[in-house]
Chains A and B, each alone.
Chain A
Amino acid sequence: MGCIEEMKYEVLLSRVTFKECREFIRDHYKEFHTVKPGYKIFDSYIIGVPPILIGVDDSHVVFPYTKPCHGTFLLRIEGPQEIARLRAGKA
């Protein structure tokens, strides 16, 4: 894990709760998908409180990312392959 931090990402929200992440994604994106804790994205597992939402914004995915010492961040990263996987409903 940890390769997400080496990718080109945009931080949309910092040090927030999963509830705040859910609400932000529901309010800002028409397309979003619900995944379980432990869903793998960009070769990292999502650590979080269900239901976990992942938003789709053009060719980008918007998802929560938790670091134990720093809290939860809502990130936006380009990922057409991840979007295709979400749409196909693959875990």
Chain B
Amino acid sequence: MEKEGEPDRKKALLLLGCPEVPVQMGIALYASHRLRKEGWDVTVAGNPSVLHLIRVSDPERHYVDRIAALDRCMEKLIEGKAKPDLCLVFAHNDAGLSYAATVGSVAPSRVVAIIFGRNAEELAKTIEFPCETIVEKAVHNPLALRQKIDKVFGWAALKR
């Protein structure tokens, strides 16, 4: 991870999967933006492609505070060295659910799995572990998924 967050701000961690489904990056930047406006310190973790997408999309870090390599981030969570207050795990395949299950098992924080992609509903049905979920069959168009996220986090009434 990059520099540590400010100690007085609540910390949110967004764990992204492989960026092959277009809505993921848009929704991640949107959620990060919303959380930052509420005072959260936001770290986005992902594979090298995810991190490059963020560097290109948000070069001056208007939307994301920090970025982190996924493997290193998981190590810190498992070892108890990182203790975010909120984890959003993006999942469009079984591997994404594996990360959600692991985060839910090792982190004491609120964990929300954002399940999207063509098979979102079928994927959500395979979840056999306790987990808060937001499910939407979104691939290219992020609006329906954004609506559900707004509702869960109370952002729906806010002016866009």
Q: Is the interface of A mostly helix, strand, loop or mixed?
A: loop
Within 8 Å of chain A (Cβ to Cβ): is B58?
A: no
Q: Is the CB of A17 within 8 A of B126?
A: yes
Within 8 Å of chain B (Cβ to Cβ): is A36?
A: yes
Q: Is the CB of A71 within 8 A of B95?
A: yes
Q: Is the CB of A68 within 8 A of B70?
A: yes
The 4 tightest CB contacts between A and B, nearest first, are A37-B102, A69-B18, A38-B78, A49-B101
Q: Is the CB of B129 within 8 A of A50?
A: yes
Within 8 Å of chain A (Cβ to Cβ): is B75?
A: yes
Q: What is the interface of chain A, defined by CB distance below 8 A to chain B?
A: 1-2, 17-19, 36-38, 45-50, 66-72
Q: Is the interface of B mostly helix, strand, loop or mixed?
A: helix
- Report chain A residues within 8 Å CB of B96: 68
- Report chain B residues within 8 Å CB of A2: 71
Give the contacts of B95-114 with A (CB-CB under 8 A).
95-99, 101-102, 105-106
Return the contact of A17 from the options B20, B70, B94 (Cβ within 8 A): B94
A17 to B96, CA, bound (A): 11
Interface centre among B74, B94, B106 (most CB of A within 10 A): B94
Q: Is the CB of A49 within 8 A of B18?
A: no
Q: Is the CB of B94 within 8 A of A18?
A: yes
Interface centre among A18, A46, A49 (most CB of B within 10 A): A49
Q: Is the CB of A69 within 8 A of B78?
A: no
A50 to B98, CA, bound (A): 9
B49 nearest CB neighbor, chain A only: A69
- Report chain B residues within 8 Å CB of A17: 94, 126
Q: Is the CB of B105 within 8 A of A37?
A: yes
- Report chain B residues within 8 Å CB of A37: 98, 101-102, 105-106
Q: Knowing A37-B101, A37-B106, A38-B102 touch, does A72 contact B47 (C-beta < 8 A)?
A: no
In the complex, given contacts A2-B71, A68-B47, A68-B99, what are 17 additional A-B residue pairs having Cβ atoms less than 8 angstroms apart? Answer: A18-B94, A19-B128, A36-B105, A38-B78, A38-B102, A38-B106, A45-B74, A45-B75, A47-B99, A48-B101, A49-B129, A50-B129, A68-B17, A68-B96, A69-B47, A69-B95, A71-B94
- Report chain B residues within 8 Å CB of A18: 94, 98, 101
- Report chain A residues within 8 Å CB of B70: 68
Return the contact of B94 from the options A36, A45, A69, A72 (Cβ within 8 A): A72
Q: Knowing A37-B106, A48-B102 touch, does A72 contact B95 (C-beta < 8 A)?
A: yes
